[in-house]
Amino acid sequence: MHENLLHMTGICKAYTGRGRESVSVLSDFYLGIRAGEEVGLSGPSGFGKSTVARIIMGIEVPDAGHVFWRDQIVCDATTQPDREFFRKVQMVWQDPFIYLNPFLSVRSSIVEPMAAFGIGSKRERRERADSLMQTMGLDPNLGRYRPGMLSGGQCQRAAIARALAVSPELLICDEALCGLDLPLQVDIMAHLTSVQEKSNMALLFISHDRDCISRVCSRTIYLDRQTNSLFPD
């Protein structure tokens, strides 16, 4: 029996719609992720996948239920994650421009979280940024450019390198490769999988595309609105 790195239990979340009626998105939702495990979360658009990610990251407060990191509650209706949680858990969304400052070089954006968490010297941070770009299949020479000069796929590689910079124990990718051509998706996922194997990082890979998920994840769960139950794939 492996202990969970992160698990969420009894999660309920409803949004109040325009007509002020409350729409239930998650009800009694459960998810468990073990250290080093790659778990897929799939389901049609609008079924609450991003809500799960936002609740884990403390962006959305659940109406009921708890999120645990190992055995400690990190988020619920009254608790918000602490700073260290945001090093241990990193998130990549579909749009890389959320993380890459348009006015900074790509390398500076990768260095930024390391500086924020006091990791390494200035020189070590720059070297690590270059090495992470290489790890993600991005030419480190591109690090001196602003994100506007790079393609969408190159920016997403840089955004993942930035998330990896603080050595997270769990990386959440929410539709992170959505919108990229299939060969690019496959290549980026291969780089990510090799990082994950070396570092024992866990991965929560969220996508509406079940084929995409099944290429990376050993276990995929499927979110169903009616019952909010999870079906093994």
- List contacts with ligand ADP (CB under 6 A): 15, 25, 43, 45-51
| Residue 27 within binding range of Mg ion, rule CB under 5 A | no
Residue 226 falls in which region: left (phi positive, over 0), alpha (psi -120 to 50) or beta = alpha
Residue 162, SS3 per DSSP: helix
Residue 222 has which token pair? 């499927």
Pair 8, 41: CB distance under 8 Å:
no
Distance, in Å, from the CA atom of 76 to the CA atom of 62, rounded to the nearest integer, reads 6
| C-beta closer to Mg ion: residue 95 or 187 | 95
| C-beta closer to Mg ion: residue 52 or 216 | 52
Place of tokens 């990251």: 57
| Residue 109 within binding range of Mg ion, rule CB under 5 A | no
| C-beta closer to Mg ion: residue 39 or 132 | 39
Q: Which residues are CB-contacts of 167 (< 8 A; sequence separation ≥ 6)?
A: 87, 199, 201
Q: C-beta of 197: minimal distance to ligand ADP in Å?
A: 28
Query: Which stretch, 21-29, 43-51, 117-125, 162-170, contacts Mg ion (CB under 5 A)?
Result: 43-51
Q: Which of 27, 42, 50, 185 binds Mg ion (CB under 5 A)?
A: 50
Cα torsion angle, 119, 120, 125, 131, sign = negative
**Binds 69: which of ligand ADP, Mg ion, none (CB < 5-8 Å by kind):** none
| Residue 228 within binding range of Mg ion, rule CB under 5 A | no
Query: Which stretch, 7-15, 50-58, 136-144, 158-166, contacts Mg ion (CB under 5 A)?
Result: 50-58
Tell me phi and psi for residue 214, to 5 degrees. Answer: -70, -15
| C-beta closer to ligand ADP: residue 164 or 206 | 206
Number of Cβ atoms within 10 Å of the Cβ of 194: 13
| Residue 154 within binding range of Mg ion, rule CB under 5 A | no
| C-beta closer to ligand ADP: residue 45 or 121 | 45
Binding residues for Mg ion, rule: CB under 5 A, are 49-50
